[in-house]
Amino acid sequence: MRILVIGANGQLGAEFMRHQNSGFQIDGVGRAECDICDLQEVQQCLNRYDPDVVINCAAYTAVDAAEENREVCFAVNHDGVLNLAKCCAERSIPLVHFSTDYVFDGQKEGVWYEDDTPNPINCYGESKLAGEDAIRKVCNQYLIFRISWVFGQYGPNFVKTMLRLAKTRSELNVVSDQYGGPTATPCIVRAVLGSLANSRSGERGLAWGTYHLPSEPFVSWAQFAEFIFAKAQELELLSVVPQVHSIPTSEYPTPAKRPLNSRLGSGEQEVSACDWQTALGRLLPGIIHSLEGE
């Protein structure tokens, strides 16, 4: 099975590229090689690589900046995704795509499942939902995974931000009334490649459709920060741990509204939850090493 990763230089795409010895032939392209906003470039890219599966990791993810750059955000997260969907559908190539917990408004008290009604409250969430809808309208063979609070060794993320701040600050204010499941990029990659491997071997992989990829235990941003610092200190990677002060969202205004409840659950038995705490422990040495050169 030949896989083509679009957005191979980003946080999630780079993690997929680390799994080239996983039994798949994995090729990757960045924006310079394939700008998904250019339909002709997408067509040429698929003709050049002739993949069996396309995994789209390209996205506009600057949540706050999206509020002032709506057109650019939608150009990537909707128009670009539509281009990919059209090209994949024309060639009968399955498309794997990633969406977000931000398609929900956060007002539900319990866990969000795949059949809950989306109602995004910021531009980023609106654009990602539009991308989902574009795929569902055009493709017959697709897997859409909604993921939340992504972190990993590559690209910017909350874990790296906290560790950078720990170098210069003894105290930090972190929001404590937004809850979700931090999701490590290796967990996402394993879930996707595992499903594709099952399909290739004749075992039952995931049926085409939209899935949540849960990650547990659920925590607030403040609790996540505290765990990051505690784990880094336990591994002797951080000598001084900042004190985390819990604050409400109202005391940390941002251009884009955030959902208070981003807990994702899956109604599908085939989708198991990721253990982000174990994954973080494995990733921390590499993350801190990458920050040392900054």
Residues known to be catalytic: 124
Residue identified by tokens 């741990």 is 241
Q: Phi/psi zone of residue 219: left (φ > 0), alpha (ψ -120 to 50 degrees), beta? A: beta
- Nearest of 77, 218, 232, 227 to residue 148 by alpha carbon: 218
- Nearest of 151, 271, 127 to residue 211 by alpha carbon: 271
- Nearest of 54, 46, 52 to residue 13 by alpha carbon: 54
Neighbouring CB atoms inside 10 A of 247's CB total 16
Strand, helix or coil for residue 274:
strand
Q: Is the dihedral of CA 181, 182, 187, 188 positive or negative?
A: positive
What is the Cα–Cα distance from 263 to 24, expressed in whole angstroms? 32
Please give the single-letter amino acid code of residue 152. Answer: G
Residue identified by tokens 């539900």 is 108
